[in-house]
Chain A
Amino acid sequence: MLSKNVLQQLSDRLGAGNVLHEKEDMLVLGYDSTPGVHLLPDVAVFPTDRDGVLAAMEIANQEDLPITPRGSGTGLSGGSVPARGGMVLCLNRMNRILEIDEENLTATAEAGVVTLDLFNAVAAKGLFYPPDPGSQKISTLGGNVMEDAGGLRGLKYGVTRDYVMALNCVLPDCSVLTTGGKSVKDVAGYAFKDLLVGSEGTLGIITEITVKLIPPPKDKRTILAYFNDIRTAGEAVSKIIAAKIIPSTMEIMDKATINCVEDYVKIGLPRQMAALLLIEVDGHPAMVEEEAQGVQAILAQVKAAEVHVAKSTEEANNLAAARRTALSALARVSPTTLLEDATVPRSRLAETFAEIERLTLKYGLKVGTFGHAGDGNLHPTVLCDERDADEMKRAHAFYDDLYDKVLAWGGTVSGEHGIGLAKKEYLARQIGAGGVRVMKRIKDAFDPRGLLNPGKIFTDESSEATVHGKEV
């Protein structure tokens, strides 16, 4: 329980309207989109500028209060869940786009800017910010950087990390760190910027971000392919890559996902098909033509059941929008959707689908799989009910087995969602005890008192893991 004095101090420094502590507010600021994790903070603050963040950090230091940064709470690994209670620092009110620099092709924005707002603002100036996580219409740039969010265009354009040029952040010792800049080359000292990207709010609180922009592709074409067997779809993906064609998007949905998405969007997706691939090629018109031909030839060769080319931009956009709803649409089927983020080298895709099928049967589960097939990044999603303890146990066993295989194939336990609270054990499996020790030493160097987003990425023995936040 926080003392009145602390609340008063926070109100004085940040403004009374920017501090919340009522139970009803705490209840809704202790979750993100990760199932099963919901913990209560003691207070939430909404700084409107960097000084506000600094003030909050000072008070947290003085009161020994854990501090967890939060954007829109759309994360999928529990990164913004206050694992040890304390203060949730919401960055949504820092949502100004500060500059779009058309000479240097960069944009600078505060951490709370919504991803799609930035995309639209630069598009209005004829520029392109490619990272497009599924939640782009509400996710924040700060959250994207902290989790190194991917998206549908990752295959050709990369992920958030590939666009971050500079970061401005407040460190746990209340100093301000600026790292990177608008120079396209920069090898001055340790690459803090790269360390901070994907650090899940454990090293510093980002207040300002400068991202790289690129010219938008002049043309694009969207191809939709249906398959009678999901493994054939996997084979198609591997063959397209092997043919040295890099589409901007190569997304897969299995039958369960197709049906859930169709229930919502009603655009005539093929309910009876085992899988579909949504493929988009973009670039110079001549290249688009050539690559589209190449893709279609491979689809014919692997005997895709049907191949369609989108007739209009509107149709193409509707298909991409439909794909973005996949995870949420799967939630129609069951009360709980447990989602994972397994990523394998692309040549292993067909085997991964086979393994998912095998484990689904073995554990008697209902699984919907979709994801960024072109990146080898799949989201096998167990559709279950958190009230059914046995089913939950089987679901976890399913992922345990799957990750064993994924790691054996040289894959990773998280392609784009981060480790957060949800995947700490899997990370330890992937990088080993030695890897975890080095990560902890880095964490200690930034945050010796362990105030910043404690309990994330790895189990934090020093500040003792048994002291958990209040479970909701």
Chain B
Amino acid sequence: MARRYRVSSPEKLGNFTPQDAPLYADVLQCMRCGFCLPTCPTYVLTGRERSSPRGRVALARAVADEKLEFTAAVKEEAFFCLDCRACTTACPSGVRAGEVMEICRSQAHAFYPLGKVGKGFREFILQKMLPSPALLETSMLPTRLYQRLGIQWLVRHLKVLKLGPDWMAKAEGMLPNLEKPLRLQLPERIPAKGEQRGRVGFFLGCVMTLMYPGVSRNTVKVLAHQGFEVFTPRQTKCCGAPHLSEGDRETARQLALFNLDLFLEQDVDWIVTDCAGCGAALKEYEELLEGAAEHEKLARFRAKIRDISEFLIEVGLRTEGLREVKTSVTYHEPCHLCHAQGVSAQPRQLLRQIPGVELRELKEASWCCGSAATWGLKYSRESQQVLDRKLANVRDTGADLLVTANPGCQLQLAWGMREAGSSQEVVHLMDLLGRATPD
């Protein structure tokens, strides 16, 4: 199913604005069987039909049918949706409620423009900061200093920030120990070790380079050790996921066009990422850019994109020489990996191949952790409830480590564990594989 969005249309769809409107066929597709309801975290939290995938699609249809204006409640539901895509996995009819809501977010900005200050701030973040790797890195400098000088320790222990609005305290609390961003340290080309199996373009995501440079360093190390020459273009820009999530589809398109050309210019067999959010966005370029780039280019790009675990299972993990990592683990499935990309078995297969690792299955492993880009900060109370459900299941496994494969999840889960005083450590799958891989 290609043809998903209409970038703009001469005919107006009901009460939607013409720019980036959903397709009528997409909202009509829902036959209201309700199979999505028990899989939707916001429906389970509220028990309110309009906060369910079926309800949200029905609202979008009502707007398309001109039975409802694009009201504040529609906007609210578009943003209250976690965009976790669990409903996409559950839907036998192929309805993609999360994506319809993503489009409604961009509609919301047309109907409810922000005030001057808010608009300026939003544009600064989405259109200035995020598209520029260098600006992002500079902006993180004070934060790193703040940690290094011990101010963070003071702030956390004196609970100074708790006085401010909740989200700020949470955002501060979520920050991992920051190292230098990886982007400028990582050589653009890293040779393969042993018998070479191909060339990989590594898509280094913004959150990975800034917050988890150690993880991506491991990813590259693993790729090289597995026999792949790794090319990481320094010019790589943000994948556009934050823009899609915030409803700025136009900037997302510009970033996508840039990355598309950048990676297609390289002579690489695959494009691999270790960030589930980036992976999902990259795989959607084909639809996002339909009409904005040649179809052949989009298809070629799409055919190369892999999540790291999907890739390693596809090419086959070379296990000889891997060191033993004696530990018990459980695996939390990032929504943007299992639901948005359908990659669910591969991370578990990888874990089982690491010598010494005992994998314990997590109950409701594919249930969202409540992070969901900025959702966890906007709806901090609801996010906590979603997180608590997850943490209880993690606790029940008694595993030493909680493994995941997406920085958003990792930030939220590590924060939740710290707050709950848990001794279970949260790690990225590639950190674990990195530990097993000789230097």
A and B found bound together: yes
- In this assembly, does A264 line the interface, its C-beta being within 8 Å of a C-beta of chain B? yes
Whether the Cβ atoms of B34 and A135 lie closer than 8 Å is yes
Whether the Cβ atoms of A325 and B35 lie closer than 8 Å is yes
| Residues A431-472 near B (CB distance < 8 A) | 472
The majority secondary structure among interface residues of chain A is: loop
Task: A33 to B29: give the CA distance in the assembly, Å.
Answer: 12
Chain B residues contacting A35 (CB-CB under 8 Å) are 31
Known interface pairs A264-B94, A472-B62; A24-B29 also in contact (CB < 8 Å): no
- In this assembly, does A137 line the interface, its C-beta being within 8 Å of a C-beta of chain B? yes
Whether the Cβ atoms of B34 and A24 lie closer than 8 Å is no
Contact with B along A114-125 (1 / 0, CB 8 A): 100000000000
| Residues B9-37 near A (CB distance < 8 A) | 25, 28-35, 37
Interface hub of A93, A137, A261 (most chain B Cβ within 10 A): A137
CB distance from B439 to the nearest CB of A (A): 40
Known interface pairs A27-B58, A472-B67; A329-B93 also in contact (CB < 8 Å): yes
**Partner pick for B91 among A46, A93, A328, CB 8 A cutoff:** A328
- In this assembly, does A400 line the interface, its C-beta being within 8 Å of a C-beta of chain B? no
Looking at A55-63, A198-206, A331-339, the stretch in contact with chain B turns out to be A331-339
Chain A residues contacting B73 (CB-CB under 8 Å) are 22-24
Task: A31 to B65: give the CA distance in the assembly, Å.
Answer: 15
Tally B residues with Cβ within 8 Å of A: 31
Whether the Cβ atoms of B50 and A28 lie closer than 8 Å is yes
Of all chain B residues, the one with the shortest Cβ separation from A93 is B47
CB distance from A70 to the nearest CB of B (A): 9
Whether the Cβ atoms of B37 and A72 lie closer than 8 Å is yes
Chain A residues contacting B49 (CB-CB under 8 Å) are 25, 28-29, 73
**Partner pick for B68 among A20, A27, A332, CB 8 A cutoff:** A27
- In this assembly, does A352 line the interface, its C-beta being within 8 Å of a C-beta of chain B? no
Known interface pairs A25-B50, A27-B58, A27-B67; A137-B35 also in contact (CB < 8 Å): yes
| Residues B69-116 near A (CB distance < 8 A) | 71, 73-74, 77, 91-94
Whether the Cβ atoms of A32 and B94 lie closer than 8 Å is no
Whether the Cβ atoms of B29 and A331 lie closer than 8 Å is yes
- In this assembly, does B227 line the interface, its C-beta being within 8 Å of a C-beta of chain A? no
- In this assembly, does B48 line the interface, its C-beta being within 8 Å of a C-beta of chain A? yes
CB distance from B191 to the nearest CB of A (A): 38
Whether the Cβ atoms of B31 and A33 lie closer than 8 Å is yes
Task: A458 to B35: give the CA distance in the assembly, Å.
Answer: 29
Whether the Cβ atoms of A25 and B93 lie closer than 8 Å is no
Chain B residues contacting A92 (CB-CB under 8 Å) are 47
CB distance from A111 to the nearest CB of B (A): 14
- In this assembly, does A327 line the interface, its C-beta being within 8 Å of a C-beta of chain B? yes
Interface hub of A32, A73, A261, A331 (most chain B Cβ within 10 A): A331
Contact with B along A13-41 (1 / 0, CB 8 A): 00000001011110111011101000000
- In this assembly, does A232 line the interface, its C-beta being within 8 Å of a C-beta of chain B? no
- In this assembly, does B55 line the interface, its C-beta being within 8 Å of a C-beta of chain A? yes
Contact with A along B218-258 (1 / 0, CB 8 A): 00000000000000000000000000000000000000000
CB distance from B367 to the nearest CB of A (A): 14
Whether the Cβ atoms of B33 and A327 lie closer than 8 Å is yes
Task: A338 to B28: give the CA distance in the assembly, Å.
Answer: 14
- In this assembly, does A319 line the interface, its C-beta being within 8 Å of a C-beta of chain B? no
Task: A381 to B135: give the CA distance in the assembly, Å.
Answer: 57
Whether the Cβ atoms of B92 and A331 lie closer than 8 Å is yes
Whether the Cβ atoms of B93 and A331 lie closer than 8 Å is yes
**Partner pick for A28 among B31, B38, B58, B92, CB 8 A cutoff:** B58
CB distance from B119 to the nearest CB of A (A): 26
Whether the Cβ atoms of A74 and B34 lie closer than 8 Å is yes
Of all chain A residues, the one with the shortest Cβ separation from B90 is A137
- In this assembly, does A138 line the interface, its C-beta being within 8 Å of a C-beta of chain B? yes
Whether the Cβ atoms of A337 and B31 lie closer than 8 Å is yes
- In this assembly, does B200 line the interface, its C-beta being within 8 Å of a C-beta of chain A? no
Chain B residues contacting A263 (CB-CB under 8 Å) are 94
- In this assembly, does B260 line the interface, its C-beta being within 8 Å of a C-beta of chain A? no
Task: A329 to B90: give the CA distance in the assembly, Å.
Answer: 11
Contact with B along A131-151 (1 / 0, CB 8 A): 000010111000000000000
Contact with A along B354-378 (1 / 0, CB 8 A): 0000000000000000000000000
CB distance from B89 to the nearest CB of A (A): 10
Whether the Cβ atoms of B55 and A138 lie closer than 8 Å is no
Known interface pairs A28-B59, A114-B38, A329-B93; A335-B32 also in contact (CB < 8 Å): no
Task: A197 to B38: give the CA distance in the assembly, Å.
Answer: 26
Whether the Cβ atoms of A23 and B68 lie closer than 8 Å is yes
Of all chain A residues, the one with the shortest Cβ separation from B37 is A138
Chain B residues contacting A264 (CB-CB under 8 Å) are 92, 94
Of all chain B residues, the one with the shortest Cβ separation from A20 is B48
Task: A332 to B25: give the CA distance in the assembly, Å.
Answer: 11
Task: A331 to B49: give the CA distance in the assembly, Å.
Answer: 21
Whether the Cβ atoms of B59 and A24 lie closer than 8 Å is yes
Of all chain B residues, the one with the shortest Cβ separation from A332 is B94
Whether the Cβ atoms of A328 and B58 lie closer than 8 Å is no
Chain B residues contacting A25 (CB-CB under 8 Å) are 48-50
Known interface pairs A31-B58, A472-B62; A24-B74 also in contact (CB < 8 Å): yes
Of all chain B residues, the one with the shortest Cβ separation from A22 is B73
Whether the Cβ atoms of B59 and A31 lie closer than 8 Å is no
**Partner pick for A73 among B28, B34, B77, CB 8 A cutoff:** B34
Chain A residues contacting B47 (CB-CB under 8 Å) are 46, 92-93
Contact with A along B139-171 (1 / 0, CB 8 A): 000000000000000000000000000000000
| Residues B169-217 near A (CB distance < 8 A) | none
Task: A261 to B49: give the CA distance in the assembly, Å.
Answer: 26
Of all chain B residues, the one with the shortest Cβ separation from A71 is B34
**Partner pick for A135 among B33, B48, B50, B52, CB 8 A cutoff:** B33
Whether the Cβ atoms of A138 and B38 lie closer than 8 Å is yes
| Residues A271-290 near B (CB distance < 8 A) | none
Known interface pairs A24-B68, A25-B48, A335-B28; A135-B35 also in contact (CB < 8 Å): yes
Of all chain B residues, the one with the shortest Cβ separation from A35 is B31
Interface hub of A138, A261, A332 (most chain B Cβ within 10 A): A138
Task: A139 to B38: give the CA distance in the assembly, Å.
Answer: 10
Task: A335 to B50: give the CA distance in the assembly, Å.
Answer: 21
Residue contacts A-B, CB under 8 angstroms, 12 given: A20-B48, A27-B58, A29-B49, A35-B31, A73-B49, A93-B47, A137-B35, A264-B94, A329-B93, A331-B33, A331-B92, A332-B93
A residues touching B (Cβ–Cβ < 8 Å)? 20, 22-25, 27-29, 31-33, 35, 46, 72-74, 92-93, 114, 135, 137-139, 261, 263-264, 325, 327-329, 331-332, 335-337, 472
B residues touching A (Cβ–Cβ < 8 Å)? 25, 28-35, 37-38, 47-50, 52, 54-55, 58-59, 62, 67-68, 71, 73-74, 77, 91-94
Q: With contacts A328-B35, A472-B62 known, what are 10 further pairs, Cβ within 8 A?
A: A23-B68, A23-B71, A23-B73, A24-B50, A28-B58, A33-B31, A46-B47, A135-B33, A135-B35, A264-B92
Closest 3 CB pairs of A and B: A328-B92, A331-B93, A325-B92
